[in-house]
Amino acid sequence: MNPALKFWYYAGGRLPQKHREFVYDDVTGPKWLVRFTIRSLVQVTPLVTVIALALVHGLGSPWPLAIACGGLGFVVGLYFALSYAPESVDYRLTKYGYPRGSATEGRRVRNAARDRERQAKYDAVWRRSEG
């Protein structure tokens, strides 16, 4: 996939249907939450920048106040984006024809072996029968 299309996707755009496997891999891969966070920051940055500049140039606010407002905008935007990250990527996959919950199930399947191994280690240490 060309870099311009990837940038469009990370900026919040929708890819053509032929790239549905890329989207699935993006939201179920090992670093899906990092990529989701980057995508959220790319989407929030222009809005926060416009608001900060409008505060300074349109309303005559001091720069420190505008920067503080911009920082608060980043925190709030990122907080809400990350709060609903699993639901958001599940919904994004439905736009590409996948059934509801495909991203969550894909991550569950991908991590199943690792989770079983961790549970076995936990059980070996904490679930020993004393008797």
**pLDDT grade, residue 130 (50/70/90)?**
low
- Non-local (6+) Cβ contacts of 26 within 8 A are 9, 32, 35
**pLDDT grade, residue 40 (50/70/90)?**
very high
- Supply the pTM of this predicted model: 0.78
With a cut of 60, say whether residue 131 has pLDDT above it: no
With a cut of 90, say whether residue 83 has pLDDT above it: yes
Helix then strand then coil, % of the chain, to nearest 5: 80, 0, 20
Model pLDDT for residues 100-121, shown as the tens digit of each residue = 999 999 999 988 988 999 999 9
Instruction: Please report the pLDDT score of residue 127 as a whole number.
Output: 81
- Non-local (6+) Cβ contacts of 12 within 8 A are 39, 42, 43
Q: Average the pLDDT over 81-93 and give the result.
A: 94
